[in-house]
Every structure is written in C-alpha cells, then in structure tokens.
Structure 1
Amino acid sequence: MSHHSSGPKTEPEPIRDPQNDHLLTPQNCAILLIDYQETQFQALGSTTPEEVNLGAITLAKLATAYKVPTILSTVGVDLGVNKATVPEIKNELPGIEEIDRTGVNSWEDADFRAAVEATGRKKIVIAGLWTEVCVAFPTLDMLKEGYEVYPVVDAIGGVSQAAHDSAITRMVQAGAQPTTSIAFGSELMRNWAREDSDLFRTILMDYFERKRKIS
C-alpha cells in the first residue's frame, strides 16, 4: 500500500471549535495565579524560586500574549504581614489588579470567587505557592463545583518534597489534570502554521534562554 502524499505541508489544520474543544484554548479557559509573594518563595523546599519563576513567568507571559482571563491573588497584604506579588511576575500582567485575602483557600474569598465566575469559563489553569495549600484547596473546591482544573506543576512548589507530591496526588485523585507551562503554551498555540504562532515561539525561546541561565 503506498500512501499518497499531498505535497509539502505549509497550511494549518482547521481550527476546532475554540469554545467547546475539550483541550485548552485561549477562548475556553482562565488562569489563576495565587500568592507569588516573597514569604512564600522563601519557604520553598520542593524546588527553587528560580525553577518556580521559570514556569510562573512563562505562564504569565502566555496569559498576556493569548489574552486569557487571569486572576491574580495575594494573602495577608492588607493585614500588613505580606508583600504584594513579586515584580518579576506582576510585571508580565499589565493592568491586572491583585485580589488580597485573609484566608489560605482563595475559593473561600467572595471577591476571588466572583472574579472566577465572571470569566464564565469552566476550565481553570491554576498555579501558586504553595502546592499543598494555596493550589490544592481551591482546586479541590472547584472540582467539587464542576470546574475542570489544571495545576501547572512546573510553576508551583511546596515547603517540602513530600508536601508537594502528596498535594499533586490528592488533586489528581480528585480529578485535576496536571500540566506544565510549555505544555499549556503548546495547547493554546496548537499549530506552527497559524499566523499567531510567533506568540508562542517568542515565549518558548525566552523560556529556554532563562532555563539555560539557571541550569
């Protein structure tokens, strides 16, 4: 059996319905970035601040490039105990206001919940510090309420390896779908022949450039 070749492939495949695609698209998901604050970075034990930034900055760049609705939250700033989001992440999200909270579970904060609901999206890409608290608790709550939740595992970390690993297991057993910043970017971009593929290409090159500096 010989396969008939259709010649050089330079055209993108047809775009699937971006609202109803079961995979992530810029039109069907929202991004939650939670507690990327100095105090949280200092307590990391499962990874390094550099590794977290590698993924988290990539995620923030993707949010901005693909215009994905993004919610940025902090804990304890109004209480005077914590500083705001670290500038290297905040700077990638122009115009996005932080929602401060007193609690560790952002889903228990009415303003945060209202912001998520206002996006109208049921696929939620989530990242934050730490995995076992600020990522796990809202993830478990949202899964219960019928959201699909995608923790970005290379943009998060816990106070110990055990804390991080157990939280990933707990979220996955509840139905969460782990991803990484680059996998998410590829899912948004989808096809190198699309006119906007440079949005991802630029972020991808920046990722590997930053990765070389920390490895």
Structure 2
Amino acid sequence: MTITAAITATATPGASLISPTDHTLVLIDFQSQMAFATKSIATELLRNNAALISHAAAVFDVPTILTTVAVDSFSGPMFSEITDAFPGEPLLDRTSMNTWEDAAVIDEINRIGKTRIVFAGLWTGVCIVGPVASAIDQGFEAYFISDACGDVSVEAHERAVQRMIQLGAVPMTSVQYLLELQRDWARTETYDAVTGVARKFAGAYGLGITYAKTMFGASEGGH
C-alpha cells in the first residue's frame, strides 16, 4: 500500500504565472512592410492586440524593448499604437532577422536582467521563432503572445507556434497578458487603468465593461 503525503493548498499564485516585475516584454518588427504580407490574422486585429499588450505593459511599468528591422530603408515605421504607449522609448533597429543575434538588443536584455522574456511581433515563423529558440537555448524562460503575432499564412503561423511549444515556450493571448498582470481586482492602484485598456482594446470584453459600468455602475471586486 502506497501512502501519499497530504497536500496543503495555499492562496499563492503558481510560479509560471507572469507578474509585472518578473519579465521583459520584447516587441519585434510591428512595421508596415511586415504587416502587408501578414495573412494569418486580420491587420486591424493585429494592430489592436499589439496596442492592448503595449498599453498593458505601460500601465504596469514592464521593462519593454522595441525593435525594428530596416526601419528607414525597407520595413517602415513601427505601429503608432505601440510607440504611443512608450513615448520616448528608443527603437533598436537591426539588420538581423533573429533579434537575439543583435548586440544592442542583447545589451538591453542583460541590462534589464530578467530571465523570463515575453515576445510578440512579425513574422511568427522567422522573427519570433528565432529569438525564442535562442533565448531558451541560453537558459531563459520564453513566453509568446500568439494573437499578437502573425505570419504570411495560417499554416506558417501555426507551425511556428507548434515549434516554439515543442522547444518549451509558453503561449499566451493578449487579453490573458493584461489580466495576468492585474490578477486581482483588489489591486486598486491599477484597476482604473486596466479596465480602461480593456474597454478600449479588449473587444467584446471591453464592451461588456462599458455596458456594465454605464447601465449599473458595476465593477469587478466591488470597486
């Protein structure tokens, strides 16, 4: 007979859940030329989700790296929905398709000093797989926001997602990212900002918040 030790539950979050202070967000190649060829997700939804995670990170002061490829000579400017969330933040322009092979980006990764990295950008199968695989190989934890990534076809995006999961990366969605940062509606210092981001960018969920607040004065957690 096998005797199993009793397990005691505690009111504490799982270690795999992200928090505002435990990761760096890296936003890669959200640029016009890259978006033109993206077919796995509608451009307007991609821009919306990119805006959602950017403003979420800004609310929580998540250290964020913005990087582009050939910004002046080929790919064009980064989405304003992202740069508006980070006024004055420098754009690290690269020649390499793999962000992890760019010395300036790696200097910034090391300066920030987080071992958990969350990635999003274009295209999934090239510019996201490359740094995800490289980060994991060097001992970092890698997460990626799948609905804030896109590729030249659904097939290309999905195979890239499968490949990253097989390597050990953790997929997330944009609304999940926002709510995992908040995690408790009793955190009143960010409550208004988070629901504001949700109302503006979180689709039907945001519409529901607007409706409930307007019609009933409702709020999560009784605020």
Match for residue 38 of structure 2? 44
* 2:146 equivalent to 1:153: yes
Equivalent position of 1:207 in the other structure: 201
Shift of 1:21: 4.4
Cα distance in 2, alignment partners of residues 14 and 114 from structure 1: 37
Q: Distance in 2 between matches of 1:58 and 1:183?
A: 10
TM-score, structure 1 as length reference: 0.85
- Count of residues in correspondence between the two structures: 197
1:73-88 correspondence to structure 2 within 5 Å: 73-77=67-71, 80-88=73-81
Cα drift, residue 199 of structure 1: 2.4
Q: Which has the higher helix share?
A: 2
Q: Which protein, 1 or 2, shows the higher relative CO under an 8 Å CA cutoff with sep ≥ 6?
A: 1
1:118 deviates by 1.1
Task: Give the ranges of 4+ consecutive aligned residues of structure 1 lying more than 2 Å apart after TM superposition.
Answer: 13-16, 196-199, 208-213
**In 2 relative to 1, CA 49–210 (structure 1 residues): closer, same or farther, beyond 3 Å?**
farther
1:205 shift after superposition: 1.3
Distance change >3 Å, CA 75–CA 177, structure 1 → 2:
same
TM-score normalised by structure 2 residue count = 0.82
Q: 1:211, CA displacement in angstroms?
A: 8.5
Which residue type is aligned with residue 200 of structure 2?
D
Change (3 A) 1:149 1:194: same
Identity %: 35
- Cα distance, 1:210 vs. partner? 8.4
Correspondence for 1:124:
117
Q: Tell whether the 8 Å contact from 1:54 to 1:211 is kept in structure 2 after alignment.
A: no
Structure 2: segments with no counterpart, 5+ residues: 1-9, 208-223
| CA displacement 1:8-53 (0-9 Å, x = unmatched) | xxxxx9886xxx9442111111100000110000001111111111
Q: Secondary structure of 1:206's match?
A: helix
Gap regions ≥5 residues in structure 1: 1-12
